[in-house]
Amino acid sequence: MNIVLFGAPGAGKGTQAKELTKKYEIPQISTGDILREAIAKKTPLGLEAKKLMDGGNLVSDDIVNGLVEARLQEADCEKGFILDGFPRTVAQAEALDKILEKFNKKIEKVIALDVSDDEIIERITGRRVSKKTGKIYHIKYNPPVDEKEEDLEQRVDDNKETVMKRLEVYNKQTAPVLEYYKKQNKVYSVDGAKKLEEITKDIIDILEK
């Protein structure tokens, strides 16, 4: 099961990927998480990526392609994987096809989460992440039972100004990736405005079709 979870920033890719990893026991590969780890460790790559990410811009294709190629060679990807936040440009999608070809694999389905811009802004500005578990919450839609216990933090790029920039970048550089996969008949659209559990069910129905 080699799938791509596709959607605008805040569409719910990370939230749904976590549900699917539990059900199918395959890893979530989030390029955003990998880059944030590099930032936390203050590696040279992390320091370079931080400036771009804080401003809502994309990190270079070469860097991200290299990270994904290395990650896909790890043993836990043998049974499949869920890509979250990658590919984000047509050049990344082309590179991914070439990488997978080397391993005799291919992307089977691209699940596209549809959410309006207004909803995106509300979701991202209300998002909080647990420092302890990495679990994703929303102060209104999905609050934790015990806020203190979870030790919540807000991502640096989760403010309204940066969200607007991220949406602009998404429309210009990432939306065309959907056309790339539509030509390969791999795109399945899901209404991302529904409740979390309903969306998970819709995705599972598509994956098991």
Which residues of the chain form contacts with ligand AP5 (CB under 6 A)? 7, 9-15, 31-32, 35, 52-53, 56-59, 64, 85-86, 88, 92, 123-124, 126-127, 136-138, 141-142, 166, 195-196, 199
Asked if 123 is an active-site residue, the reply is no
Q: Do the bridges between strand 2-7 and strand 109-114 make them parallel or antiparallel, or are there none, so unpaired?
A: parallel
Contact 36, 28 (CB under 8 A): no
CB of 196 to ligand AP5, least distance (A): 5
Residues 40/96, Cβ–Cβ less than 8 Å: no
- Catalytic residue, chosen from 88, 123, 128, 186, is 88
Name the helix (H) or strand (E) containing 203: helix 196-207
- φ/ψ of 105, rounded to 5, equals -125, 170
Catalytic residue, candidates 13, 50, 71, 186: 13
CB-wise, 10 or 27, nearer to ligand AP5?
A: 10
Instruction: Decide whether 22 or 104 has the Cβ nearer to ligand AP5.
Output: 22
- Annotation-wise, does 98 bind a ligand? no
Residue 6 labelled as part of a binding site: no
The active-site residue out of 71, 123, 128, 166 is: 166
Is 127 labeled as ligand-binding? yes
- What is the Cα–Cα distance from 127 to 151, expressed in whole angstroms? 13
Burial class of residue 70 (count of CB atoms within 10 Å of its CB; 0-12, 13-18, 19+):
exposed
Smaller CB separation from ligand AP5, 59 or 111: 59
Side-by-side strand order, sheet with 152-153: 136-138, 127-130, 152-153
Binding positions for ATP are 10-15, 127, 136-137, 194
The catalytic residue positions are 13, 88, 127, 155, 166
